[in-house]
């Protein structure tokens, strides 16, 4: 997806961050908007779509399976759907680039159609496990052949009709939940997913918005989601809110750089995604919600973030799913707080684009942080606001969130911090550096 030669990025301490920005559209919602629009009968209109490489991989895959997905302006797309059950056999392999979300959700779509699709990806994605998705989709009747270790490249031979199942998630994973629900769309009967720990609910919200027959209720076993298959989805107009995972980098940057005062407009604050902002407030961060509103069924607000002294955190592991992608930049905040933070219950980070626990531990140690690595997390001794020592080059392991997190760290460091390769940032946040610089950052 990007040039193979590394493109180093160096961030240095400068003045305070000041100004107003708008982050790109939510990645999770963007993926789902394209997929469900491609399964509706008629033309859907999407505004605010994130146009990073991950989401573009989803758009290309939907086109390869018969939908028309065309860009009409910045973040503006029109999608002509093929209808549930109407996906066509792709002519070649579906290249997912670095996108685990695209891969897992599209595996679900293909599983209940009578087509065969081969999924490929870059080196990072090809090392990520797909077994947790393969298991339930195989129970529904799909025939899936993966590389050793349950990784890409893999082939999904879908089946129609598939078999409706009741599936209890063994680990908290919105991607697995969504894959099963998407497979259930073209499956006769009722497909049921039980999640003992609630995960982000964008799929449920959007499926209902497109007209699927779906119910959600609480039980002793957790959230029970039931989807009645073979529905006809209605085309929609979708306004994608700003991605809270992208806003997180600026919220932390403004919190740690003295004198900063930043407004981040149009941030999605779905309760299943806003865990970082809740935790930062408990650490003493100044985060003010302005103009709170509902956009397309999702809560949205503008966030004003000002620099404050942070205190250590000891987050509840039950909150991890609501901020699973934000932990790398949380580690940066915790490393500058006063006190010792103990962050556990996040073993999921070991199977992201990189092993984010080990990768962050190595990087933090290189810039002067004292910490202990645990099997499911880490213990960080905060520096009480004292800048990072810096003066190191960080191995990002082709992980966009690692790269962005250490770019933020470099804004409050005694010596510059260099990230070995900025290129992976484009997978989720193409204008990240431009926005940082617009606030006065030196990077």
Secondary structure element (H or E) that encloses residue 253, with its range: helix 244-256
pTM of the entire structure? 0.87
Confidence of residue 353 (pLDDT cuts 50, 70, 90): confident
The edge-to-edge listing of strands for the beta sheet with 190-195 is 166-168, 190-195, 222-228, 213-219
Give pLDDT, residue 192: 98
Domain boundary among 194, 218, 238: 238
Kindly indicate the confidence band of residue 89, based on its pLDDT and cuts at 50, 70 and 90: very high
The answer to whether the annotation marks 401 as part of a ligand binding site is yes
In the chain, % of residues over pLDDT 90: 94
Q: How far apart are CA 306 and CA 12, in angstroms?
A: 20
Note whether 209 and 236 are within 8 A (CB).
yes
230 is in an annotated binding site: no
Residue 124, token pair as written in the block:
């990072």
| Dihedral sign of CA atoms 265, 266, 269, 275 in order | negative
Q: Looking at the structure, tell me whether residues 272 and 217 fall in a common domain.
A: no
Residue 121: pLDDT over 50: yes
Q: pLDDT for 375-414, tens place per residue? A: 999 999 999 999 999 999 999 999 999 999 999 999 999 9
Range of the domain at 263: 9-25+241-438
Task: Tell me the C-alpha distance between 309 and 338, whole Å.
Answer: 8
Q: Are residues 404 and 263 in the same domain?
A: yes
- For residue 2, being part of any structural domain is answered with no
Annotation-wise, does 352 bind a ligand? yes
Q: Which of 328, 319, 311, 175 minimizes the C-alpha distance to 245?
A: 328
Domain end (from 238, 258, 278): 238
Q: Is 147 annotated to bind ligand?
A: no
8-state DSSP, 409: H
- Pairwise CA distance, residues 16 & 23, whole Å: 19
Final residue of a domain: which of 206, 222, 238?
A: 238
Both tokens of residue 319?
């909150």
CB atoms within 10 A of CB 204: 22
- 401 in any annotated domain: yes
Catalytic residue among 325, 399, 420, 421: 325
Check if 420 is active-site.
no
Mean pLDDT score across all residues of the chain = 96
pLDDT of residue 354: 86
**Residue 177 assigned to a binding site:** no
pLDDT at 238 over 80: yes
CB 340 within 8 A of CB 380: yes
Output DSSP code: residue 23. P
Average pLDDT (5-30) is 95
DSSP 212-236: -EEEEEEETTEEEEEEESS--BPP-
Residues 276, 387, single domain; the answer is yes
355: pLDDT strictly greater than 60? yes
Cβ atoms of 97 and 121 within 8 Å: the answer is: yes
| Tens-place pLDDT, residues 145-166 | 999 999 999 999 999 999 999 9
Q: Degrees (nearest 5) of the Cα angle 208, 213, 215?
A: 80
CATH of the domain at 175: 3.65.10.10
E strand or H helix that includes residue 239: strand 237-239
Count up the domains in the chain and report the number: 2
Is the pLDDT confidence value at 93 over 50?
A: yes
Strands of 151-157's sheet, edge to edge?
94-95, 116-120, 151-157, 143-147
220 contact partners, CB below 8 Å, separation of at least 6: none
Is the same domain home to 379 and 347?
yes
* Same domain (yes/no): 21, 128: no
For residue 423, the 8-state DSSP code is G
* Res. 137 pLDDT band, cuts 50 70 90: very high
Judgement on whether residues 290 and 174 belong to the same structural domain of the protein: no
Give the number of other CB atoms < 10 A from CB of residue 48.
26
Kindly state whether residue 124 falls inside one of the protein's structural domains: yes
Instruction: Note whether 230 and 325 are same-domain residues.
Output: no
242 labeled part of a ligand binding site: no
Residues 317, 371: one domain? yes
Answer whether residue 3 is part of any domain.
Answer: no
Confidence tier at 1 by pLDDT (50, 70, 90): very low
**Is 32 labeled as ligand-binding?**
yes
């Amino acid at each position: 997806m990007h040039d193979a030669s590394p493109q180093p990025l160096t961030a240095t301490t400068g003045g305070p961050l000041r100004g107003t920005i708008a982050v790109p559209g939510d990645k999770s919602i963007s993926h789902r908007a394209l997929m469900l629009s491609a399964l509706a009968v008629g033309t859907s209109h999407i505004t605010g779509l994130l146009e990073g490489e991950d989401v573009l991989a989803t758009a290309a895959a939907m086109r390869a399976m018969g939908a028309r997905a065309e860009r009409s302006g910045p973040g503006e797309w029109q999608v002509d759907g093929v209808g549930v059950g109407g996906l066509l056999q792709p002519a070649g392999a579906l290249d997912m680039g670095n996108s685990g979300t695209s891969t897992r959700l599209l595996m679900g779509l293909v599983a209940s159609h009578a087509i065969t699709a081969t999924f490929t990806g870059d080196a990072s994605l090809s090392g990520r496990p797909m077994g947790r998705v393969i298991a339930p989709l195989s129970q529904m009747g799909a025939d899936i052949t993966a590389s050793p270790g349950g990784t890409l490249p893999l082939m999904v031979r879908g089946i129609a009709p598939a078999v409706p199942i009741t599936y209890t998630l063994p680990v908290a994973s919105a991607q697995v939940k969504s894959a099963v629900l998407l497979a259930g769309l073209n499956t006769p009967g009722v497909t049921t997913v039980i999640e003992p720990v609630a995960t982000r609910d964008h799929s449920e919200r959007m499926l209902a918005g497109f007209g699927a027959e779906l119910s959600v209720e609480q039980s002793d076993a957790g959230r029970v989601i039931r989807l009645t298959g073979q529905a006809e989805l209605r085309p929609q107009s979708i306004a994608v809110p700003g991605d809270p995972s992208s806003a997180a980098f600026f919220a932390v940057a403004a919190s740690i750089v003295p004198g900063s005062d930043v407004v981040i407009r149009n941030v999605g604050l779905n309760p299943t995604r806003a865990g970082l902002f809740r935790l930062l407030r408990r650490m003493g961060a100044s985060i003010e919600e302005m103009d709170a509103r509902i956009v397309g069924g999702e809560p949205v607000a503008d966030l004003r973030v000002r620099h404050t002294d942070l205190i250590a955190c000891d987050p509840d592991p039950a909150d991890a799913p609501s901020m699973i992608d934000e932990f790398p930049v949380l580690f940066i905040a915790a490393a500058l707080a006063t006190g010792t933070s103990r962050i556990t219950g996040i073993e999921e980070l070991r199977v992201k684009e990189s092993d984010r626990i080990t990768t962050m531990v190595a990087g933090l140690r290189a810039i002067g942080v004292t910490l202990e690595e645990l099997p499911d997390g880490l213990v960080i001794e905060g520096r009480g606001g004292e800048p990072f020592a810096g003066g190191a080059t960080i191995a990002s392991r082709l992980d966009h969130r690692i790269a962005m997190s250490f770019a933020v760290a470099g804004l409050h460091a005694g010596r510059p911090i260099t990230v070995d390769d900025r290129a992976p940032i484009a997978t989720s946040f193409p204008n990240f550096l431009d926005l940082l610089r617009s606030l006065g950052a030196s990077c």
